[in-house]
Structure 1
Amino acid sequence: MIKTNSSVKSVMVLLLFCCVACQPKITEKEALKAKVSNQIDSIKGDVAVAFLNLSNPEDRLYINEEEEFHAASTMKVPVMIELFKQKEAGKINLNDSILLINEFKSIVDGSPYSMDIGDDSDDVIYGKINTKVALKDLMYSMITVSSNLATNVLIELVDAKKVTATMRNLGADKIEVLRGVEDQKAYDLGLSNATTAKDLLIIMKAIATNSAGSEADCTEMVRILKDQQFNDIIPHNLPKDVAVAHKTGSITGVHHDAGIVYLPDGNSYVLVLLSKNLTDFDKGTAQLADISKIFYDYMTKE
């Protein structure tokens, strides 16, 4: 048996220590990405993430940010922005009322279709059909309770093409607002509203930084978004003193949330979580909420 003397042992230990010490240290951003990626890997479905620290524009994280998703109800935020834009241009007055009619034209052939109360998240508005409703009230319902009927009325008013054009001017170059909700003929032909996580981040950032309209209008948009009634993702695992101005969207196998998170210390960030092909909707939703908590912990670390 060959014995190793103490000096050789000391050299070996020193070399081992040096090897360990020379390993590059993982950065906070790398640790964040690893945590988020691990959580995404646990979700049975496809997920995209976009994050931006509004206090430090260099502090951002993208995962699958250019992948296309059905926009679901997140497209209602661009419609809100267009409403304020046309208000500022003097084309509409949000205090004015419009006759609420439940009949719309398909973008495919102009054939009429109506909304079904059973497929809408806002049943109160159906009791107002054939009466006049203020545009600002329709807009509020479109965002806070995701009213599909209100959305279709407003899209016909402002024109979907103009909504998309306004998003292009903001720098969102992939999002497409083609039509209102429940246009089955369009859906069957693959003509659906689409977005990416990066584009929704650009849009929410524009609201947060008063770039989506006047400062007063952006402040009002944030106020409306803070009244969101569906809070299963971004705000779900956060403390009650954290304010979130956000818009969700969901259809079969799809659940999204895009928002601005306002922390008690004055810092804020934009977070977009998109998902599709979820095999377990409820579990996937909970896992997305866990991703939101990872970003909150990152932003509030001491």
Structure 2
Amino acid sequence: MEKLIVGKSLETQLSALLATLPSDAIVSYMVTRLNEGEEATIVASSKETQIHTGASMVKTLILEYVFHLAVQEQLDINDTIALSRSPRVEGAGALMELVGNHSFSYLELCRLMMVLSDNWATNLLIQALGMEYINARAEQIGLEHFEINRMMMDFKAVEENRENYITALDMAKLLHHIYELRQNIYGHEMWNILGRQQYRDILPFHWGEDVVFHHKTGSLDCVEHDAGIIETMNGDFCFVLLMSRLRNDVAKQLGAQMGLIMKEFVEDALP
């Protein structure tokens, strides 16, 4: 990707914030300008190829793979999956509150997985699609270090060092890919799902509720991530922020500050 020289001033502002962090904290970010039908342009970036634990960010790839299969007519998004197909898990989401035998369509599970970050919905989709096939899709898209190696809330897998991984660069590529598809029927649905994300406590925290951010967040102990696309009068931009080895409350405050700086820069400082 081409990198804009003017973005150096944004990197300087963000570096000043990052300089206050503990020495073992790892923060990666990318700000890119999206160009319709062309490769994105990098405005600012740091440690974009650093590998981080994926947390709930990997759900974005699962979403893309479901709709890719629907486009290929290998899957009907209205077909249903029974909750009994995968064990109940807790954490984020709403399905764990249900009692009784229920079934949900692929579309409904995708919406729950993304909008509410539902872990049980995610596991149902991983089991139905096949982890190895989801990872093969990541490779097909060109995501070099994007891997799903365990289900959500699978602590035994974590103990066995089986983890999900992402980089800021791969997240930017994946979001740009979905952005390019937003005009077709399935791409439009993905785009709208990303725009209904309920967690707005990192990058868009200071933007106001009226600013639409098509994004996904991810959180684990000492891990906070956020990545998405904002449409502005000065163009459309992708913001990716991955933060590891940082206390969660500190990371969220940092992310909110960085999100405000990023937004003001792309709206006011870019030509």
Do both share a fold (TM > 0.5)?
yes
Partner of 1:84: 67
- Native 8 Å contact 2:94 2:116 kept in 1: no
Shift of 1:125: 4.6
Partner of 2:217: 248
Equivalent runs, 1:1-302 vs 2, <5 Å? 28-44=6-22, 45-55=25-35, 57-101=40-84, 103=86, 114-117=87-90, 120-127=91-98, 130-210=101-181, 215-263=184-232, 265=233, 267-278=235-246, 280-301=247-268
Q: Which runs of 5+ in 2 are unaligned?
A: none
Amino acid at match of 1:195: I
Q: Which whole-Å CA distance do the structure 1 matches of 2:100 and 2:111 have between them?
A: 17
Tell me the percent identity.
25
- Native 8 Å contact 1:172 1:202 kept in 2: yes
**For 1:174-194, what per-residue CA distance to the aligned partner results, in whole angstroms no more than 9, with x for missing partners?**
110123112222211111110
Q: Secondary structure at the match of 2:229?
A: strand
Greater Cα offset, 128-137 or 144-153: 128-137
- Native 8 Å contact 1:102 1:115 kept in 2: no
Q: Which whole-Å CA distance do the structure 1 matches of 2:15 and 2:83 have between them?
A: 45
Amino acid at match of 2:118: S
Q: Which runs of 5+ in 1 are unaligned?
A: 1-26, 104-113
Amino acid at match of 1:38: A
Normalising by structure 1, we get a TM-score of: 0.81
Q: Which whole-Å CA distance do the structure 1 matches of 2:8 and 2:234 have between them?
A: 25
- Native 8 Å contact 1:101 1:129 kept in 2: no
Shift of 1:116: 3.7
- Native 8 Å contact 1:50 1:198 kept in 2: yes
Shift of 1:101: 1.3
Amino acid at match of 2:8: E
**For 1:194-234, what per-residue CA distance to the aligned partner results, in whole angstroms no more than 9, with x for missing partners?**
01111001001111122xx8722221111001110111112
Amino acid at match of 1:67: Q
Amino acid at match of 1:254: V
Q: Which whole-Å CA distance do the structure 1 matches of 2:6 and 2:170 have between them?
A: 25
Instruction: Say how many residue pairs are matched.
Output: 260
Say what the alpha-carbon RMSD is for the aligned residues. Answer: 1.9
Shift of 1:102: 6.1
Amino acid at match of 1:28: V
Amino acid at match of 1:51: V
Q: Which whole-Å CA distance do the structure 2 matches of 1:61 and 1:207 have between them?
A: 21
- Native 8 Å contact 1:223 1:245 kept in 2: yes
